[in-house]
Chains A and B, each alone.
Chain A
């Protein structure tokens, strides 16, 4: 460090951009001192919980609550009839649909909320639930979205009967929700008709669930004296929740306070609004006491927002040489009983139209049909930005299948189709403007790092040895080059329920040169308190260690749309930098006054303003802060604060190149990840250690999804994977070693060039794992086999290809 110039040494001390600063959150998390919703206990607090439907589709003919009311400690059993006079028996969903808060005459999925039992503690509530008797009349169940669209399929949403217009345009069937089209259909179909080669396949991305460590819950507390409703809850978007609560309850927004305390993982699961929130609030308003509701694991898996469940039919056209000429895609999207998808309003299939991926595809067409079935509602971005994982999986499978069709190496096929560095900003055929990228550099670096040619040689030898009967293991090489689209988003086209998707930061510098920054986002484990302080440290020259970052309390934090879709750094991170720049601008005027020079005669130097050409004359930010509060400066208001609301001009487009090397035992279907290499380019890197942690976590979730994790239903609509015995969440035992790497291609429009990274590894990881499985069997003729690739499904591939003799 001695060799560093003096200013670089000062910069080190700030622990700003690029510093692998330790996470400030971890002291409390690792010592069990976090403060989660279920840690909140208020005097006189009651506990509420749900009677849930055991049926996937049934009419509710009667609800008998008398026995439950006799259970000691049970105070109330709330049903839809009780909520109806308040207009709260249904609630709006984020997707412009509505959802029953409590069963209103029928149930549409197993686990649906039927009645809310309020009791003095959770044990009494559980006994009360047992004592509620509900009479059901079974209705025919539809769990297959294709069957749901058959002419004589049972009507699921009787409330919508006769409605031919939905929130996203015309409905063409009683179980149809919307059709969303992008691109040029005619041109694409023509390209496909005239192409040398066309690969066609149905790619299914199965239904799964974010399954955060902490399930959803809240504590609602109505203070009848001052008329203020406070809700502590597992909210990924506390401000949006406040506005929605105000709109549906009629309580004025200033009389609602939403607090997201520590959140034990969200991954999209905590974006939406759940009946538990409404019922707790109503129960608190009625009883005048705080009411807590916290899900258990089964509630969480069976009823809160799921992810994926996309049937993606694809056609990809290319020349004989492998240059892609067109992409056609039709998605049948299973949304469950209500459309509670969490997507920006104008994007009912999220950003699925990023499905041209990293490739220069001149012509493309996409259509998506949303369908109701007897499954739980949701459709959230599980660690991805609005259906980007589905899109990435789709294109990365289609590329592999096209490679098979062409008899080409899949790495080479990618290389000849990548968007070139000089083509950025790049207009995609499906409507996006990619901000920046250098895919060829990343790809070559990745292939070299894993010795791709050597791996292919080894694989070929393995196939020969297998054919000679010398081994029962095959080797798969899973490739992925993904492009994400994150940072929703520009208010001109991104809103949720009419709320623009800007974000915000408010900074107060304290007189002695430390600071507090508040943001409209909310960390759920991402480490915002660590990284946002680093952005500010570099912008305003105060040490990151002297900056507190606070989020999640709507009474104190500025309005913002919350944390999901990797939007915090692209949007709130930008707001942070911009607010920091406002601080610096005022500081410059103060410094000029103190140094008796003109503003323009000063230059910024890490943590101070110095007189140009006379670096010995300077004022540090610390000195300026003190002066800002304590010195009368003509023409300048006291204090040093700033607010920025940032409306991003564009999304950011992180990308990456992943390679997974997998050993597969064809006799047992067991798989072992021998090597996983992940190169991520998220633009400017704020904290490399946190990036690495995010990549490890995202890859592990990707491993889970690709290799075993699913929400599976039987024909009767029963959830078959409602506990962690059957729902796969990897532990250290199943998790392989990951090698991480990076390139840096800053975003040209983001104030610090950062792009967001939390979700990339899930977006890119799933196709990498899945492609490895497929690739292992390519030599034996496999084209497509649906995830998750658990033992029996892998075994089934081998069996189907005749490898069991």
Chain B
């Protein structure tokens, strides 16, 4: 469990970090909390000549809620997401989800940027960000650009981000309505067997907007447009919820692992989706 040798860089701003990435190309990788990357290096599944530590870059930090928008710096840790009273008020869904990630030790180190950046299908935040309709902000040699979370993930560990780009921040509109994050895991510190994020807005007993996204049920996070559509316009009664669950299940493609075979995962996914929607509706 000892990584191969590497050089360690600790730039003070984004430009310097990008310069190091530019210089070393494929050989270099940024490191945030290290809780995904370091295990891979210790298993020698990732062999990198240069690690570019982002922790001294102040521009990557901070939680800002302003003008109806939430902006999370990439280096905000999961523990900070949980601790922020402002964020809890503006987007309690984020806190609810963050509390279900791993364990406190991991959450002190793991960052929101590291969680969403590299397309690990087990991570909870990509699905969460798709549910929130978030935007990822990237900085690269050619300048800055933005990609919608719902367009970012291509396949497991394949994303719209170029190797020489750094994810700098995540932003999303302060969500309205009821929310819930439901996750089944085998134990503390485990990734999801199945998880679902739901946001539901009700007006006068009718659903006016709904967003449903799922974690670890495909090689990418799954935002189910059809599931949301199945709720909009209904009063979210049992029939509507069942239709949404079926629609969401039609969009997933789980694979067998130690958590269980596909039929089990599909079943549990259905339960998680239903519970998330019902709880979100009850809070809407």
Point out residues on A near B: beta carbons under 8 Å. Answer: 122-123, 126-127, 130, 296-298, 667-670, 708, 712, 720-721, 724-726, 728, 730-731, 733-734, 790-792, 795-796, 799, 804
Contact = CB atoms under 8 A, between A and B. Distances in A.
A730 B259 contact: no
A790 B189 CA distance: 16
B268 A668 contact: yes
Given A667-B267, A712-B258, A791 B4 contact: no
B174 to A, nearest CB: 32
Contacts of A123: 2, 5
A667 B187 contact: no
Interface string B258-284: 111101100110010000000000000
A122 B2 contact: yes
Contacts of B261: 792
Contacts of B187: 708, 728, 730-731, 733-734
B146 interface: no
A130 to B, nearest CB: 7
A264 B268 CA distance: 38
Nearest to B3: A126
Contacts of A130: 4, 44
Given A130-B44, A297-B1, A726-B258, A791 B184 contact: yes
B168 interface: no
A728 B258 CA distance: 11
B258 A721 contact: yes
Nearest to A712: B258
Contacts of B264: 669, 791-792, 795-796, 799
B179 to A, nearest CB: 21
Contacts of B184: 668, 670, 791
B44 A791 contact: no
B4 A127 contact: yes
Contacts of B103: 731, 733
Interface in B179-213: 184, 186-191, 193
B201 to A, nearest CB: 27
A669 B267 CA distance: 11
Contacts of A796: 264
A127 B4 CA distance: 7
17 contacts: A127-B4, A668-B268, A668-B271, A670-B184, A720-B258, A728-B186, A731-B187, A731-B189, A733-B103, A733-B187, A734-B187, A791-B184, A791-B186, A792-B259, A795-B268, A799-B263, A799-B264
Contact of B260 (A298, A721, A733, A792): A792
Interface in B123-140: none
Contact of A667 (B4, B260, B271): B271
Contacts of B4: 127, 130
A733 B100 CA distance: 12
A421 to B, nearest CB: 42
Nearest to A726: B258
Contact of B1 (A298, A712, A792): A298
Given A668-B271, A792-B259, A708 B186 contact: yes
Given A130-B4, A668-B184, A721-B258, 20 more contacts: A123-B2, A123-B5, A126-B2, A127-B4, A130-B44, A298-B1, A667-B271, A670-B184, A708-B187, A725-B190, A728-B187, A731-B103, A731-B188, A731-B189, A733-B187, A733-B188, A790-B186, A791-B268, A792-B260, A804-B267
Contacts, number: 65
Contacts of B5: 123, 127
Interface string B231-248: 000000000000000000
Interface of B: 1-2, 4-5, 44, 103, 184, 186-191, 193, 258-261, 263-264, 267-268, 271
A799 B267 CA distance: 10
Nearest to A126: B2
Contacts of A734: 187-188
Contacts of A795: 260, 264, 267-268
Contacts of B259: 791-792
A790 B257 CA distance: 13
Contacts of A790: 186, 260
Contacts of B189: 724-725, 731
B35 to A, nearest CB: 12
A731 B187 CA distance: 9
A515 B3 CA distance: 49
Contacts of A726: 258
A718 to B, nearest CB: 12
Contacts of A728: 186-187
Contacts of B193: 791-792
Contacts of A670: 184
Nearest to A725: B190
A343 to B, nearest CB: 31
The 5 A-B residue pairs with the shortest CB-CB distance, nearest first, are: A792-B260, A126-B2, A733-B188, A296-B1, A792-B264
Nearest to B263: A799
Contacts of B190: 725
Contacts of A297: 1
Nearest to B44: A130
B110 to A, nearest CB: 15
A127 B47 CA distance: 12
B44 to A, nearest CB: 7
A726 B103 CA distance: 15
Contacts of A799: 263-264, 267
A456 B170 CA distance: 54
Nearest to A798: B267
Contacts of A126: 2
A700 to B, nearest CB: 13
Nearest to B194: A668
A804 B186 CA distance: 21
A730 B264 CA distance: 23
A791 B189 CA distance: 16
B276 to A, nearest CB: 13
Given A127-B4, A130-B44, A668-B268, A791 B188 contact: no
Contacts of A791: 184, 186, 193, 259-260, 264, 268
Nearest to B271: A667
Contacts of A127: 4-5
Pick the most buried of B259, B261, B267: most chain A CB atoms within 10 A of its CB: B267
Nearest to A728: B187
Pick the most buried of A122, A667, A730: most chain B CB atoms within 10 A of its CB: A667
A7 B186 CA distance: 55
A790 B264 CA distance: 12
Pick the most buried of B5, B184, B186, B268: most chain A CB atoms within 10 A of its CB: B186
A707 to B, nearest CB: 9
Nearest to A121: B2
Contacts of B271: 667-668
Pick the most buried of B1, B187, B190, B268: most chain A CB atoms within 10 A of its CB: B187
B103 to A, nearest CB: 7
B254 to A, nearest CB: 12
A669 B191 CA distance: 17
Pick the most buried of A298, A725, A796: most chain B CB atoms within 10 A of its CB: A725
Nearest to A727: B258
B171 to A, nearest CB: 32
B263 to A, nearest CB: 8
Nearest to B258: A726
B43 to A, nearest CB: 8
A520 to B, nearest CB: 35
A558 B70 CA distance: 69
A632 B158 CA distance: 88
B220 to A, nearest CB: 21
A705 B4 CA distance: 35
A752 B1 CA distance: 48
Contacts of A731: 103, 187-189
A790 B190 CA distance: 13
A792 B258 CA distance: 9
Contacts of B186: 708, 728, 790-791
Pick the most buried of B191, B261, B263, B271: most chain A CB atoms within 10 A of its CB: B271
